[in-house]
Amino acid sequence: MANYRTSLRSIGCPELSINAVKEKQGAMSHGPNQVKKPRKAEVNYCPDYPAGETKESLEEERKALTLEVKKKNNQQLIKSKMERTFAYRRQEVVKDMPFIAEFKNRWPALFSESQVNAEFTLITTFPLFSTFMSRLDHYYSQLLRVFKKKGGTARRDIDVIIAEMDKATEDIGIDAMTEMERLVLGVYIVRHDGADASDPPEDVGVVIEGCTVLRDLREVANGCAVLFGLIYCLNLSYPKELRYTFEFLQKVFMELDGNKLSTKVQVLKNKLHE
């Protein structure tokens, strides 16, 4: 197996070459946790360039793509160019780990619902939106039932969170905008003054690293699906404080690598099937 991996590395297999010692000089002190490998059931984590393509040819294609984004009625051409540059984009995001604002500037076409869905499908082979929405329909009543059964401290925490969410939607002033700029990862909701919780939001968007990467999403469910998809598209780690939430979304909700669950997520899964 070692000889096989060495042979793959020698012919330029990117998933092995990015972890070679010569590729990681200056980063060796970070230990084995810094090894770049699929961690969230990615099927196409860091693929090779298409046959006949080079880094230079794909960079020219990327530049052409940034011009096409500014035009109208050319979604099919954009889709084709995004598929062609997929491997180049994946190697960039995995190897270079660029800041989100920088990456958005280089790849503006990625930051739309349709392209996030397409990119997620290329990475995992699963369609994002149809899977997410069907699983939401499936689990919605079960999740509500579990939450309503919560008592004690857990129930009080849920009530506090809901109350804070309702209060937060009432004011999107300077303080709220400042908080968004500090937000590492999340979905924001803007409502009209005096709007009820049942009223459709004025805006739903996604913030990553303080940068609003998508806005004008139709509803909160779309925002959550887009956020989950972008975690894959941008090769992001789950925030520590939300790791169980995203583990549930990945392994139970989306059924990606669902054979090995943490104790907390396994308990919740069992309760959903009671």
* Cα distance between residue 219 and residue 206, in whole Å: 11
According to the model, what pLDDT value does residue 178 have?
55
- Does the predicted model carry a pTM greater than 0.85? no
Q: Determine the residue type at 193.
A: D
According to the model, what pLDDT value does residue 4 have?
46
According to the model, what pLDDT value does residue 3 have?
55
> Does position 32 have pLDDT exceeding 90, yes or no?
no
The tokens for 256 are 């990606």
* Cα distance between residue 258 and residue 241, in whole Å: 20
Choose among 254, 243, 214, 228: nearest CA to 125. Answer: 254
Q: What is the mean pLDDT of the chain?
A: 83
Greater confidence, 176 or 39? 39
* Cα distance between residue 50 and residue 61, in whole Å: 13
Q: Which tens digit of pLDDT belongs to each residue from 206-259?
A: 999 989 999 999 899 999 999 999 999 999 999 999 999 999 999 999 999 999
According to the model, what pLDDT value does residue 147 have?
78
| Domain regions of the chain by residue span | 1-37, 128-272
Res. 5 pLDDT band, cuts 50 70 90 = very low
Across the range 57-78, mean pLDDT stands at 96
Region for 210 from its dihedrals, namely left if φ exceeds 0, alpha if ψ lies in -120 to 50, beta otherwise: left
> Does position 40 have pLDDT exceeding 70, yes or no?
yes
Across the range 108-135, mean pLDDT stands at 97
